Amino acid sequence: MPVRRTLLVLLFVVPLVACTSLSVSQPADGSTTCGPINSVVSWSSDLQGGLTVKKDGNDVSQQFSINNAAHQATATLDFTQGTHFLQASGTFSCWYCSGGSSALTASSAFSEYCKKK
């Protein structure tokens, strides 16, 4: 009986946890980059409303191209040398959430360092 109960929990609870997600997949958190950076924000369910992306606290959302079908937004961003922070936030459809949506935020802290030649 405990095995059956565990299986039922895995079948119903795990999908609930994994249904709605948001991530800054590029640049990767903790990475060191050089030059213009191909920035990628990904999500797992339908975007409701807009996506906000901030580069070191400044809104750069307009620089991102949103592909709702692919659940992804991309932009090429320039950074100065040093440590930087990219944060994305939005509201996404969520069938099991109160009100049918979930507000999510994701971020990446990374360093820009280019060796001089």
Judged against a pLDDT cut of 60, whether residue 38 lies above it is answered with yes
63 burial (CB, 10 Å; 0-12 / 13-18 / 19+) is: middle
Judged against a pLDDT cut of 90, whether residue 55 lies above it is answered with yes
Average pLDDT over residues 87-104: 89
Model confidence at 53, in pLDDT bands (50, 70, 90)?
very high
More confident: 22 or 48: 22
Tell me how crowded residue 102 is: count the other CB atoms within 10 A of its CB.
19
Question: Is 3.90.1280.10 the CATH classification of the domain at 23-112?
Answer: no
Average pLDDT over residues 78-104: 91
Tell me how crowded residue 77 is: count the other CB atoms within 10 A of its CB.
17
The whole-model pTM stands at 0.79
Cα(67)–Cα(113) distance, integer angstroms: 30
